[in-house]
């Protein structure tokens, strides 16, 4: 059992009681909600005649269902309109702070909370969304929950949970030029598998992680869940603190000094004990692309799609399914695969630094005429910043559509969808069957830089050839 | 799909039912219930849309469409079932279709918690035993009787010792799997914790 890791410290601090069944009652410091997984939870509160215990500890925004072309109300989609209205009504009734469209702070919940300074080291953070692991980049313990647990957090600010084991993933050296944190996390998931993290929290550590910016760290923690780990985190350091400083909800004045002292005491001890440790060399990671139907089915840009014989017995079943669904042949190169749609956005890679990287590649170039390309900023703040820097114009000049913030085609709950068996180069997090809105649509996950390269060439490309 | 739906309530100690086998590893919650069906403010109509895209692709040959499975209530799956999105809509859709328990090699964490929270016990068995059940189901109907008190599963031909997390087993047997009331009992401890946490004090603005 792990000892003295940041995970242990934060868990123990928030433990309210040991429940009769053997799980722990855990206090949730920050609860984030959105329109998709909260309505039934508020409904359950009403049925049970319960109130929200600490309305100040819950913050709401709207992201999954929002249109990215025309956000005028009422939305064209009646169901989407009904969902946003339900959230508005619930927040008003229960006095919950809601960042609505046009507030200047709306966006994907996992982009918004960090940029507002809500996400801080040492907190427990829960949200009815599996990518809540993103917030672990700040040294918080953050994880996704279902609607019944959203109900419990609203009613009690606590939930029942079994403590996770801790696996440290130590990344030596640093990423090479043209290789990004998305490539690193895809590489990790490929190496460990999509279920290795079940029952674990992942601690990402080592020189390569230390080197990453906060936004790059968020990309890594975001995708912990794709490796099966409900929670992923990174010990906080100076980069963490300076990212938070002066944000809207960051501690101010004398509170800042107190907060800083506490945050500095939070990291895993040097001699802490882990349930498991994995080491890898980040300098060996290359631009990585998924070829299959799970985020674990990825290869480096110059590799061939694996042969059945190259795979373990356990991986063969899903690989067969993937060859068929993707219409790929074992042994085929992923490079030069034609793409129909290019999507830059999502809670994984829809932040300003992601857009900057892509814009640098797109500047002065044109999107291939066979490709529909669109960029969806992760939040209103990201969109504003991009406009101030002229990034939106670079995207538009290249032939990208520039959209309003939201989750968009990461999961296609709005009208941004693949059609038929289109192939999409996507900076999002999931390549599941049907994920991007068409029951036979095909998704290739990659870094925003790689999506930009694919957009220009109309096919999967090695971005390093464009930046050298 | 069953026309009448009554959610489980109170103590759950045993269940009897026909198995429905669904072969495949890493079956994610997007496949169990595609995202377009999440545009709803209640779970009521999800049962009919469970595995919608997979079922359409298989044109009536999906296990959830086979006539012989229409009364099945124990879902038998392989490894990492329910990975991906945290949507509780996935187990809610399964439950509304008629599933009352799931047996598999392994489950994704969030899916597992969601199942427990709505009263669907998830049991694990080694790969070999699952293959045995799934092979059996290929040829004939398998009716299992599951007893949570000793975690056993019995049938005419096959018997298994199921595994389930001890905390989940206890919660079902005591009827405390619907956690809200248990959590509320510790009202004072929750208040104390709130007052002790360092960051509550240095929060600003609306927090």
- SS3 sequence of chain B: CCCCCCCCCCCCCEEEEEEEECCCCCCEHHHHCCHHHHCCCCCCCCHHHCCHHHHHHHCCCCHHHCHHHCCCCEEECCCCECECCCCCHHHHHHHHHCCCEEEECCECHHHHHHHHHHCCCEEECCHHHHHHHHHHHHHCCCEEEEECCCCEEECCCCEEECECCHHHHHHHHHCCCCCHHHHHCCHHHHHHHHHHCHHHHCCCCCC
The half-sphere exposure of B17 on its side-chain side, counting CA atoms within 13 A, is 19
Helix axes B109-118, A147-156, angle to 10 degrees: 70
Please check whether residues A237 and A88 belong to one and the same domain: yes
Looking at CA atoms only, how far is residue A464 from chain B in angstroms? 31
* Domain-located, residue B4: no
Helix (H) or strand (E) holding A300: strand A298-300
How far is A58 from A28, CA to CA, in rounded Å?
10
Please check whether residues A150 and A191 belong to one and the same domain: yes
CATH of the domain at B166: 3.20.19.10
Helix axes A352-362, A448-457, angle to 10 degrees: 30
How far is A303 from B198, CA to CA, in rounded Å?
50
Please check whether residues A170 and A133 belong to one and the same domain: yes
* Domain-located, residue A443: yes
Domains: count for chain A: 2
Using CB atoms, pick whichever of B25, B117, B199 lies closest to residue A314: B25
* Domain-located, residue B120: yes
Please check whether residues A176 and A53 belong to one and the same domain: yes
Average pLDDT along chain B: 94
Confidence of residue B131 (pLDDT cuts 50, 70, 90): very high
Instruction: Inform me whether the pLDDT recorded for B206 exceeds 60.
Output: no
Looking at CA atoms only, how far is residue A343 from chain B in angstroms? 18
- The CA-atom distances, in angstroms, between B131 and each of A149, B112, B127, B157, B161 are 33, 21, 6, 15, 15
Cβ-Cβ contacts under 8 Å between A and B: the total is 231
How far is A356 from A358, CA to CA, in rounded Å?
5
| Segments forming the whole domain that contains residue A198 | 6-264
| Segments forming the whole domain that contains residue B67 | 14-175
Q: Each residue of B41-74: pLDDT tens digit?
A: 999 999 999 999 999 999 999 999 999 999 999 9
Least Cα distance to A418 among A433, A399, A401, A400 occurs for: A433
- H helix intervals, A223-297: 238-244, 253-264
Instruction: Inform me whether the pLDDT recorded for B90 exceeds 90.
Output: yes
Confidence of residue B3 (pLDDT cuts 50, 70, 90): low
Q: Each residue of B170-179: pLDDT tens digit?
A: 999 999 888 8
How far is B123 from A64, CA to CA, in rounded Å?
32
Please check whether residues A162 and A33 belong to one and the same domain: yes
Please check whether residues A297 and A230 belong to one and the same domain: no
Which residues of A fall within a CB distance of 8 Å from B190? Answer: 16, 27, 53, 156-158
Task: Determine, for residues B41 and A146 on separate chains, whether the beta-carbon distance falls below 8 Å.
Answer: no
ipTM of the complex: 0.96
Interface test with B, best of A41, A126, A145, A160 (most B CBs within 10 A): A160
State mean pLDDT over A232-239.
Answer: 98
* Domain-located, residue A274: no
Using CB atoms, pick whichever of B84, B114, B168 lies closest to residue A432: B84
* Domain-located, residue A1: no
Instruction: Inform me whether the pLDDT recorded for A108 exceeds 70.
Output: yes
What is residue A142's three-state secondary structure? strand
Using CB atoms, pick whichever of B30, B43, B110 lies closest to residue A432: B30
Q: Output the pLDDT for position A382.
A: 98
* Domain-located, residue A279: no
Task: Determine, for residues B167 and A21 on separate chains, whether the beta-carbon distance falls below 8 Å.
Answer: yes
CATH of the domain at A140: 3.30.499.10
* Domain-located, residue B84: yes
Burial class of residue B138 (count of CB atoms within 10 Å of its CB; 0-12, 13-18, 19+): exposed
Please check whether residues A37 and A185 belong to one and the same domain: yes
Confidence of residue A230 (pLDDT cuts 50, 70, 90): very high
Using CB atoms, pick whichever of A146, A411, A432 lies closest to residue B88: A146
Please check whether residues A73 and A12 belong to one and the same domain: yes
Closest chain B residue to the Cα of A131, Cα to Cα = B85
Confidence of residue A21 (pLDDT cuts 50, 70, 90): confident
* Domain-located, residue A74: yes
Which residues of B fall within a CB distance of 8 Å from A61? Answer: none
Looking at CA atoms only, how far is residue B146 from chain A in angstroms? 20
How far is A249 from A60, CA to CA, in rounded Å?
14
Q: Output the pLDDT for position B4.
A: 72
* Domain-located, residue B69: yes
* Domain-located, residue A280: no
Domains: count for chain B: 1
Q: CA triplet A34, B45, A93: central angle to 5 degrees?
A: 35
Please check whether residues A112 and A206 belong to one and the same domain: yes
Which residues of A fall within a CB distance of 8 Å from B148? Answer: none
Residue A167, preceding bond cis, omega within 30 degrees? Answer: no
Please check whether residues A134 and A176 belong to one and the same domain: yes
Task: Determine, for residues B84 and A321 on separate chains, whether the beta-carbon distance falls below 8 Å.
Answer: no
Least Cα distance to A126 among A193, A255, A26, A251 occurs for: A26
Please check whether residues A237 and A309 belong to one and the same domain: no
* Domain-located, residue B182: no
Helix (H) or strand (E) holding A374: strand A372-375
Please check whether residues A386 and A258 belong to one and the same domain: no
Q: Each residue of A23-58: pLDDT tens digit?
A: 999 999 999 999 999 999 999 999 999 999 999 999
Task: Determine, for residues A155 and B184 on separate chains, whether the beta-carbon distance falls below 8 Å.
Answer: yes
């Amino acid at each position: 059992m792990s000892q003295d890791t940041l995970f242990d410290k934060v868990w123990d601090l928030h433990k309210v009681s040991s429940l009769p069944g053997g799980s722990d009652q855990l206090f949730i410091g920050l609860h984030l909600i959105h329109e998709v997984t909260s309505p039934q939870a508020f409904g359950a509160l009403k049925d049970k005649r319960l109130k929200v215990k600490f309305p100040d500890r819950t913050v709401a925004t709207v992201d999954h269902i929002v249109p990215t072309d025309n956000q005028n109300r009422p939305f064209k989609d009646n169901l989407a309109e009904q969902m946003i209205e339900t959230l508005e009504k619930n927040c008003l009734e229960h006095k919950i702070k809601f960042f609505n469209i046009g507030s200047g702070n709306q966006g994907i919940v996992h982009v918004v909370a960090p940029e507002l300074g809500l996400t801080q080291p040492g907190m427990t953070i829960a949200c009815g969304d599996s990518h809540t692991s993103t917030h672990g980049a700040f040294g918080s313990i953050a994880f996704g929950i279902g609607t019944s647990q959203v109900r419990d957090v609203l009613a009690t600010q606590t939930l029942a949970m079994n403590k996770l084991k801790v696996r440290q993933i130590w990344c030596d050296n640093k990423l090479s030029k043209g290789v990004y944190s998305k490539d690193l996390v895809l590489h990790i998931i490929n190496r460990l598998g999509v279920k290795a993290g079940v029952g674990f929290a992942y601690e990402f550590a080592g020189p390569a992680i230390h080197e990453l910016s906060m936004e790059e760290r968020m990309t890594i923690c975001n995708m912990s869940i794709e490796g099966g780990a409900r929670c992923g985190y990174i010990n906080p350091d100076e980069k963490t603190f300076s990212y938070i400083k002066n944000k809207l909800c960051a501690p101010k004045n004398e509170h800042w000094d107190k907060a800083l002292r506490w945050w500095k005491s939070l990291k895993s001890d040097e001699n802490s004990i882990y349930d498991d440790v994995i080491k890898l060399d980040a300098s060996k990671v290359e631009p990585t692309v998924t070829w299959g139907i799970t985020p674990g089915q990825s290869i480096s840009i110059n590799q061939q799609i694996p042969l059945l014989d190259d795979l373990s017995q356990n991986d063969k079943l899903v690989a067969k399914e993937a060859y068929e669904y993707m219409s790929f042949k074992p042994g085929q190169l992923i490079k030069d695969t034609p793409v129909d749609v290019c999507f830059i956005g999502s809670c994984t890679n829809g932040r300003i630094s992601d857009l900057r990287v892509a814009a640098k590649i797109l500047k002065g170039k044109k999107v291939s005429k066979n490709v529909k390309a669109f960029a969806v900023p992760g939040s209103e703040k990201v969109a504003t910043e991009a406009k101030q820097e002229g990034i939106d114009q670079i995207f538009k000049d290249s032939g990208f559509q520039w959209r309003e913030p939201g989750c968009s085609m990461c999961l296609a709950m709005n009208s941004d969808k693949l059609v038929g068996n289109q192939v999409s180069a996507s900076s999002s997090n999931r390549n599941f069957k049907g994920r991007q809105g068409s029951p036979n649509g095909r998704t290739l996950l990659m870094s925003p830089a790689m999506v930009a390269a694919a957009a220009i060439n109309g096919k999967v490309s090695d971005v390093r050839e464009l930046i050298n | 799909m069953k026309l009448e739906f009554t959610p489980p309530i109170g103590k759950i100690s045993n269940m009897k039912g026909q198995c429905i086998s669904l072969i495949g590893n890493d079956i994610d919650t997007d496949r169990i219930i595609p995202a377009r069906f999440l545009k709803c403010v209640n779970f009521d109509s999800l049962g009919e849309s469970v595995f919608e895209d997979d079922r359409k692709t298989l044109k009536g040959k999906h296990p959830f469409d086979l006539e012989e499975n229409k009364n099945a209530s124990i879902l038998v799956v392989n490894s990492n079932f329910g990975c991906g999105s945290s949507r509780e809509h996935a187990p809610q859709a399964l439950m509304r279709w008629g599933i009352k328990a799931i047996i598999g090699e392994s489950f994704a964490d969030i899916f597992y918690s969601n199942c427990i929270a709505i009263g669907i016990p998830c049991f694990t068995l080694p790969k070999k035993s699952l293959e045995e059940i799934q092979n059996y189901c290929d040829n004939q109907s398998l009716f299992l009787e599951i007893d949570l008190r000793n975690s056993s599963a019995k049938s005419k031909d096959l018997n298994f010792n199921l595994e389930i997390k001890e905390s989940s087993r206890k919660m079902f047997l005591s009827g405390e799997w619907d956690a809200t009331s248990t959590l509320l009992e510790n009202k004072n401890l929750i208040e104390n914790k709130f007052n002790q946490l360092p960051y509550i004090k240095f929060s600003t603005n609306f927090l």
